[in-house]
Structure 1
Amino acid sequence: MSQDMDSWQLYRGTNEVGQQPPTLPPAPPWRRFSRRVGAADRPALRYRIGAEEADVVNAALHLRRPLLVTGKPGTGKSSLAASIASELGLGNLLTWPVNSRTTLVDGLYRYDAIGRLRDTGRAHEMSSPEPDVGDYIRLGPLGTALAVSRPGAPRVLLVDEIDKGDIDLPNDLLVVLEEGSFEIPELVRLPDDGPDIPVMLTGTRERRPVHQGVVACEDFPVVVMTSNGERDFPAAFLRRCVRLDLREPTEDQLKEIVRAHLGDDGLRAAEDLIETFLDRRDRDQTALATDQLLNAVHLRITGVDMSRESLVSAVFRPLEEAGPVTE
Structure 2
Amino acid sequence: MTHWRIYRGADQPHDRISELPAPPPWRRFDDGADDTVAVVDRDATGSGRRRLPSGAAYRADERTVDAVNTALYLRRPLLVTGDPGVGKSTLADAVARELRLGPVLRWSINSRTALRDGLYRYDSLGRLEDAGLARHQLDAGVPAAPADLGRYVSLGPLGTALAPYSLPRVLLIDEIDKSDLDLPNDLLDVFEEGGFEIPELTRAADQQPTVAVRPFDGGPAIPVTRGAVQCRHFPFVILTSNGEREFPPAFLRRCIRLHLPSAHEDRDRLRAIVEAHLPGADAAAETAIDAFLSRAATGELATDQLLNAVYLLTPPTGDGVPDPERLVRLVMQHLNTTATDTM
TM-score (norm 1): 0.84
Q: CA deviation at 1:325?
A: 2.3
Q: Which residue of 2 is the match for residue 4 of structure 1?
A: none
Give deviations 1:11-44, integer Å, cap 9, x for gaps: xxxxxxxxxxxxxxxxxxxxxxx99961488611
From 296, 310, 323, give the equivalent of 2:309. Answer: 296
Whether 1:157 aligns to 2:171 is yes
Q: Which residue of 2 is the match for residue 279 of structure 1?
A: 294
From 142, 166, 170, give the equivalent of 2:158. Answer: 142
Q: Which residue of 2 is the match for residue 21 of structure 1?
A: none
| DSSP 3-state at the match of 2:309 | helix
Matches of 2:340 and 2:88, distance apart in 1: 27
Matches of 1:274 and 1:83, distance apart in 2: 24
| DSSP 3-state at the match of 1:147 | coil
Q: Which residue of 2 is the match for residue 93 of structure 1?
A: 104
Code of the residue aligned with 2:305 in structure 1: it is Q
C-alpha contact 1:124 1:130 (8 A) present in aligned 2: no
Whether 1:81 aligns to 2:92 is yes
Q: Which residue of 2 is the match for residue 65 of structure 1?
A: 76
C-alpha contact 1:162 1:226 (8 A) present in aligned 2: yes
Q: Which residue of 2 is the match for residue 20 of structure 1?
A: none
C-alpha contact 1:154 1:220 (8 A) present in aligned 2: yes
Matches of 2:49 and 2:262, distance apart in 1: 23
Aligned length: 289
Matches of 1:179 and 1:76, distance apart in 2: 29
C-alpha contact 1:40 1:82 (8 A) present in aligned 2: no
Code of the residue aligned with 1:189 in structure 2: it is R
C-alpha contact 2:71 2:77 (8 A) present in aligned 1: yes
Matches of 2:100 and 2:226, distance apart in 1: 31
C-alpha contact 1:313 1:324 (8 A) present in aligned 2: no
C-alpha contact 2:47 2:103 (8 A) present in aligned 1: yes
Residues 37 and 69 of structure 1: is their aligned pair in 2 closer, same or farther, counting only changes over 3 Å?
A: closer
| DSSP 3-state at the match of 2:282 | helix
| DSSP 3-state at the match of 2:177 | helix
Q: Which residue of 2 is the match for residue 253 of structure 1?
A: 269
Give deviations 1:193-235, integer Å, cap 9, x for gaps: 8431111111316311101111000010000000011110000
C-alpha contact 2:120 2:159 (8 A) present in aligned 1: yes
Code of the residue aligned with 1:252 in structure 2: it is D
Whether 1:267 aligns to 2:277 is no
Whether 1:313 aligns to 2:329 is yes
Whether 1:217 aligns to 2:231 is yes
Q: CA deviation at 1:56?
A: 1.1
Matches of 1:194 and 1:130, distance apart in 2: 10
| DSSP 3-state at the match of 1:263 | coil
Code of the residue aligned with 1:182 in structure 2: it is F
Code of the residue aligned with 1:82 in structure 2: it is D
Q: Which residue of 2 is the match for residue 50 of structure 1?
A: 61
From 38, 47, 52, give the equivalent of 1:38. Answer: 47
Matches of 1:240 and 1:35, distance apart in 2: 29
Code of the residue aligned with 2:273 in structure 1: it is I
C-alpha contact 1:41 1:86 (8 A) present in aligned 2: no
Matches of 1:316 and 1:45, distance apart in 2: 24
Code of the residue aligned with 2:248 in structure 1: it is P
Q: Which residue of 2 is the match for residue 9 of structure 1?
A: none
Matches of 1:194 and 1:115, distance apart in 2: 18
Q: Which runs of 4+ in 1 moved over 6 A?
A: 34-37
Matches of 1:225 and 1:267, distance apart in 2: 34
Instruction: Pick the structure with more helix per residue.
Output: 1
| DSSP 3-state at the match of 1:224 | strand
Q: CA deviation at 1:316?
A: 0.2
* CA-based RMSD: 2.0
Residues 273 and 51 of structure 1: is their aligned pair in 2 closer, same or farther, counting only changes over 3 Å?
A: same
Give deviations 1:253-287, integer Å, cap 9, x for gaps: 110111111112x1321112101101221x21x11
